[in-house]
Structure 1
Amino acid sequence: MKQRIISALLATGLYLIIANIGNFFFGVNRRFDWTTTLWEAAFFFVFIFLLLGYRRNNRK
């Protein structure tokens, strides 16, 4: 469980950085603002956390 949370947090942090750089680079948001992708990152965290649990339980 602890490993799943850490892995999901690392993936979410990486997602936040990439998403904000992409928004800035492609002109979606000229201001470097972390709150623009915060809700997306929260849902991404839940998705990754559940996916990691599903993969662990279904291995044979």
Structure 2
Amino acid sequence: MKNRLSQTLGLTFLYLFVANIGNFFFGVDKKFTWTTTIWEALFFGVFIFLLLGYRKK
């Protein structure tokens, strides 16, 4: 469980970083701020956490 949670947190932070770089690089509307991408990353993290639970050991 600890391993799954640590992988989820790592991938969530990676997603947050890549999403913000993409927003900056492609000039996405200014309404998309860090707060918006944090919410996106949290939903992504929940998805990854559940997905890692179904992975074969």
Query: TM range, normalised to the smaller chain?
Result: 0.7 to 0.9
Give % identity: 67
Runs (4 or more) in structure 1 with deviation over 6 Å come to: none
Larger of the two Rg values belongs to structure = 1
- Specify the alignment match of 1:34 in structure 2: 34
TM (normalized to structure 2)? Answer: 0.86
Where structure 1 has 5 or more consecutive residues not aligned to the other structure, the ranges are none
How many residues are aligned here? 57
Structure possessing the higher relative contact order (Cα contacts under 8 Å, 6 or more residues apart): 2
TM (normalized to structure 1)? Answer: 0.82
